[in-house]
Structure 1
Amino acid sequence: MKLLILLIPIWVFVTPLLSAPVDVTPQPPSADPVLPTEKGPIFQISSDKDAPSPGVAEFKVVHHQDLNKKILISLIVASTLLAGILLFISCFWIYRLKTRKKSVEQRHQKGEPAKGLSWGPIMAKFPSLKTVGKKGLVAVIEYQSLVAATDNFNEKNAIGEGRSGCVYKAQFSDDVQAAVKRTHGGDQDAEKEFENEVDMLSKFQHQNIISLLGYCIHSNAQFLVYEMMQNGSLEFQLHGPPRGSALTWHLRMKIALDVARGLEYLHERCNPPVIHRDLKSSNVLLDSNFNAKLSDFGLAIAGWNLSKSNIKLSGTLGYVAPEYLLDGKLTDKSDVYAFGIILLELLLGRRPVEKLEGAQCQSIVTWAMPQLTDRSKLPNIVDSVIREGMDLKHLYQVAAVAVLCVQPEPSYRPLITDVLHSFIPLVPIDLGGSLRIADSALSISA
């Protein structure tokens, strides 16, 4: 673009000259009424033998030769200027490439990645979190700093327990906390999941994807250090002691929108696309403002149309899509099914699978599907916490989205992009959507 701007003045200057006639062949005499006929020739010709008519032709030759000299001079000047400009741009471009390469090398020497997470600002907040190196784009954290921050992994600092390990609160300074997940090695699958999560999270940058601060391997134990999510998991908020009391209708719609944004990033913006494969309410974490972020990428897979022959069947009962469970077919629509289950949890306040009398179990889809499509019954099965504050029109819209997401046939389920766009009008502007409500005093704490 800069080169084009530089060449425009030269082109404007040269174009009129190039458009002028350059034919220098003498023209035959003609009775041109414009030429003077009564007065002498304009230029005095030295030869006495020259007649008036040839004099006119000779005048034209002298004129064209003069014009050709001007054109030649102009072309030489323009070519010289153009060559100089091109040489200058080439030198400047080479200088920039060398400067950029040097900058990248300096970042690598300082332990900061050129792409992926920007560790400088993050690590500056953790003065006592010591690193001993860097593998790829992720900081390798000193084991002793994790021991000190978690009080030797004291049980009182345990804030959760997942499929692959226990999570502890780590206090690195008076006002800075993080979450440390400890898993025990030795198992080949566990080690693969650990490596997969480090690899995945080191590449992701999105407001609705958990941030990985670093990792540590000590003896047979492996540690992942995440940003702290003060309100725990969505599962804890819905099915734990709070029983959904902190989650209003609008907050639940915001959480659904955040989860959809996180999935849309994985499915549509990552290259290659990523399937989470273990999306569930316990892997949806909430920060102090109830912003939702996806976590636990140990089972995540990059690519579509994977068959049962090249992947191990994994997931959580109640969230696994039927086609994946029965036929081993895994696609982005498998994540959409899991999203539909989370949406039903937000609407109904029920677990994905609930135990009945004896050893029998009932899925939330089997129980809710006949009532989700009946407008007279739907308001009565909604979680009692949000029953008074919900908008019936919006409730019907959300229920319709949930029904589509949990369809047995994958082709009937919507793309996560379509789901995302359907939720934006249902979430207030203050919470990240486009809904304008009369009560301008609405806040996250409402």
Structure 2
Amino acid sequence: MIMLYFFLNILEKPYWAVDSSRHRGWICRGGGGMALNDVHNTVVRGPRISVELRQVYQIYIHLQVSGLISRLVPSKVMWSITMAVSEFVCSITLSLSFFLLIHHPLAFAQPRFAHYICVDGGNNNHTTDGEDYKANLNHLLSTHTSDHQIDYGFYNLSSGIPENRAYVIGLCRGDISADSCRRCLNDSRDLLPLRCPTQNEAIGWYVTCMLRYSNRPILGSMEVSPFVSLSNSVAAPDQAGFTKAARNLIANLIGPASDGDSRLKFAMGNTTLPNLPTIYGLAQCTPDLSRQQCNECLVGALPIIRNCCDGKLGSRVLRPSCNFRYEIYSFIESPLSRSPLPLPPPPPPPLSPVFLPLNRTTHGNAIASTSLRITPLLISSHLYTPFSGNKNGTFIAVALPITLVVVITPMITIYIFVRKTKPKKTDGKKRAGETEEEMTTMGGFLQFDFNIIKMATDEFSDENKVGEGGFGAVYKGKLPNGRIVAVKRLRQASRHGDVEFRNEVVLLSKLHHRNLVKLLGFSLKQNEKLLVYEFLHNGSLHTFIFDPLNRQTFHWTERYNVIQGIVRGLVYLHEDSQINIVHRDLKASNILLDVKMNAKISDFGIARLFTPDRTHDDTSTIIGTYGYMAPEYVRHGHLSSKLDIFSFGVLVLEIVTGRKNNRTDSNNENVRDHLISEARRNWMEGTPLNIVDPSIQVQSEISDEVMKCIRIGLHCVQEKASERPTMTTILLMLNSDLVDFFEPSQPAYFTNTKTPT
């Protein structure tokens, strides 16, 4: 690398050649800047690049570096430092790019995906022997295009016994030749496992083909998610007219595509209207679908245009089972012509990124950026037809990202240094900003389209409403793939504001435990904020312990199982997760129950994160539910995991007794807490079973468990936070009879007088 650096600096004769005629931006040596896509659009015409490209990069780097260095050093010395840093960074970036390209010839031959998605097994109920599955998958990928009798662009194979079977589907665009199809799928075969090395399921789209594999049967099954939508960034002059014409074109292609046979379901065409450009389009389904399935898949994809691409001069919608595309230039290769592809047409404007509504967990490293955004560079004109023999586009696609990484790295280093020298923001503002930034990064994983959720809930009809609280209403909904979900629609004036909303999205995307509710996604549209969860058929714990009828059938074994589930969830939050979290609002209505009555903790809108080196904090904002809040939190704003433990103690006593821990005046902390006081008094008098819910038949075989839970509850609500046990200790108490229980001291808010009933 050092040799190349000096070689770049001392050699006067240019050893690269550049055709810069396609630069569409401008360069100013005295100030301003140059758009990066000016460099993106540079076409490499020969094996040599001149000093001009070096100068272009150096000017850009200089302008960026100068802005950062000016914050650190006096203006008198800034210029010399800037020039030195710019020269060094520029030389290193060009040297590194050249070095890597020389030593990695595969980079020239390996196109990049237009998009790909790695799918976790969270929603895949199919269990797989990992090693055997990988062996079967590798065998299929290495041989799936070897059958040259298949010349219609659809490959579907499986291998292995049911326990470790691998399934592969390859689909090529209906207008390309068999050789181009095989080349495309072979490129996908090489690249997709590298991009998704640990996932059993993945899907990758090139411009002319799609490769998909899974450890579950996927042949003959119509699947509409996850989907990708791409739109041109330039709007048509007559947006409404153009969108209507494009939609009509695709709608007219759906019938012919659906009428295809088991070898090909594909249709293409164009339309020309007065005062509008000619629009070219195609529609395609995997031919394993029935006519009805193909029609349903494509018709269901049409509304996506309205949400992502209204009025734009081009669009692609990619679903696992179908796709369509329209442009204002001819991108279709005639199936009757097998001659080499001509040079690509004039480049379309770069495509705008569109968030993906997903119903599965995908990985943020699925593309070059840190979120699931469609990177415009990946589908620039040089890569739009990756098998056209255009090596120049591939060169730029490989060289530029490498160059940008090396350019950005020193900038990030300087930026971090600058940030560290600045005074820290207040805790609240900093936390809100960080959460918003994290949510932006994660938006591609979890963001649903608002209209899809609106349709899933029948436009938030009262018939689908399953609950309502201070934050808003909860609706039952059915996604297009048939999955039942719970949708929390926050009121615009709700105290569950933007910060809390983002807090919940970011937190639950990082937390994965069987006793925590699973957040499937969210949706933001102007003032509308939606949270989409897994649907839990039995609702909240509140409806079981406080409803007179439900309480009669809420047996002790189920109650004990719920208590154990809450404990496991809190152990994970406090001690086992990568980030330590205090929930702050643990109560019966925030414990949800699945069909097997397993407990899942929900509602993380006001949760607080703690770094491993911090165990407590102080706050001036007291948020939560009175009756569940610890005294040190109410009085002094002391916040720690002991707050959750106090809330858990109250909750355990409520589960055992079937009664609420009512407080008659939320503004007066001296008002007696009936349940805690009565539980403590009966414990001291040796009659703890007197407080047990009468619907529980306390037999000898369960009396020890009931007594244990009452004792744990009283331990957790002690006045001094230091005397409350940790959740790990509580778990040990539940699972062992050998734990030496200390006698609980006076609980918080204890009143030593009889309470009228």
TM-score bucket (shorter structure): 0.5 to 0.7
Which residue of 132, 136, 144 maps to 2:441?
136
Q: CA deviation at 1:345?
A: 0.8
Q: CA deviation at 1:148?
A: 1.3
Q: 1:211 to 1:136 in 2, by over 3 A?
A: farther
Rg comparison, structure with higher value: 1
Q: 1:157 to 1:425 in 2, by over 3 A?
A: farther
Which position in structure 1 is the counterpart of 2:573? 266
Equivalences for residues 182-193 of structure 1 within 5 A: 182-185=489-492, 190-193=497-500
Which position in structure 2 is the counterpart of 1:407? 718
Distance 1:118 1:259 in 2: 31
Matching residue's letter, 1:340: G
1:344 aligns with 2:653: yes
SS of aligned partner of 1:169: strand
Which residue of 378, 383, 387 maps to 2:693?
383
Which position in structure 2 is the counterpart of 1:365? 676
Distance 1:126 1:223 in 2: 24
Which position in structure 1 is the counterpart of 2:7? none
Which residue of 308, 318, 322 maps to 2:627?
318
Distance 2:568 2:729 in 1: 11
Equivalences for residues 402-441 of structure 1 within 5 A: 402-425=713-736
**Overall identity of the aligned pairs, in %:** 32
Q: 1:361 to 1:400 in 2, by over 3 A?
A: closer
Distance 1:227 1:400 in 2: 34
Q: 1:130 to 1:291 in 2, by over 3 A?
A: farther
SS of aligned partner of 1:306: strand
Which residue of 390, 397, 400 maps to 2:708?
397
Q: CA deviation at 1:351?
A: 0.7
Matching residue's letter, 1:408: E
Which residue of 605, 608, 625 maps to 1:298?
605
Equivalences for residues 99-248 of structure 1 within 5 A: 109-110=116-117, 127=224, 132-133=355-356, 134=372, 135-137=440-442, 138-172=445-479, 176-185=483-492, 190-240=497-547, 242-248=549-555
Distance 2:691 2:471 in 1: 34
Distance 2:201 2:553 in 1: 33
Q: CA deviation at 1:234?
A: 0.4
Which position in structure 2 is the counterpart of 1:335? 644
Which position in structure 1 is the counterpart of 2:171? none
Q: CA deviation at 1:332?
A: 0.6
Compute the TM-score of the two structures, normalised by the length of structure 1: 0.64
SS of aligned partner of 2:529: strand
- Contact 1:318/1:363, CA 8 A, preserved across alignment: no
Unaligned runs of 5+ in 2: 1-103, 121-195, 203-213, 215-220, 229-354, 357-371, 373-439, 738-757
Q: 1:229 to 1:106 in 2, by over 3 A?
A: farther
Unaligned runs of 5+ in 1: 1-94, 427-446
- Contact 1:129/1:141, CA 8 A, preserved across alignment: no
Residue by residue, what CA displacement relative to the aligned partner does 1:30-73 show, whole Å, maximum 9, x if unpaired?
xxxxxxxxxxxxxxxxxxxxxxxxxxxxxxxxxxxxxxxxxxxx
Distance 1:381 1:188 in 2: 36
Distance 2:476 2:661 in 1: 28
Distance 1:129 1:345 in 2: 42
Q: CA deviation at 1:136?
A: 3.3
Compute the TM-score of the two structures, normalised by the length of structure 2: 0.39
Aligned residues: 320
- Contact 1:232/1:287, CA 8 A, preserved across alignment: yes
Which gives a bigger RCO, structure 1 or 2 (Cα 8 Å, sep 6+)?
A: 1
Residue by residue, what CA displacement relative to the aligned partner does 1:369-391 show, whole Å, maximum 9, x if unpaired?
1113443x222220011134562
Distance 1:227 1:408 in 2: 37
SS of aligned partner of 1:202: helix
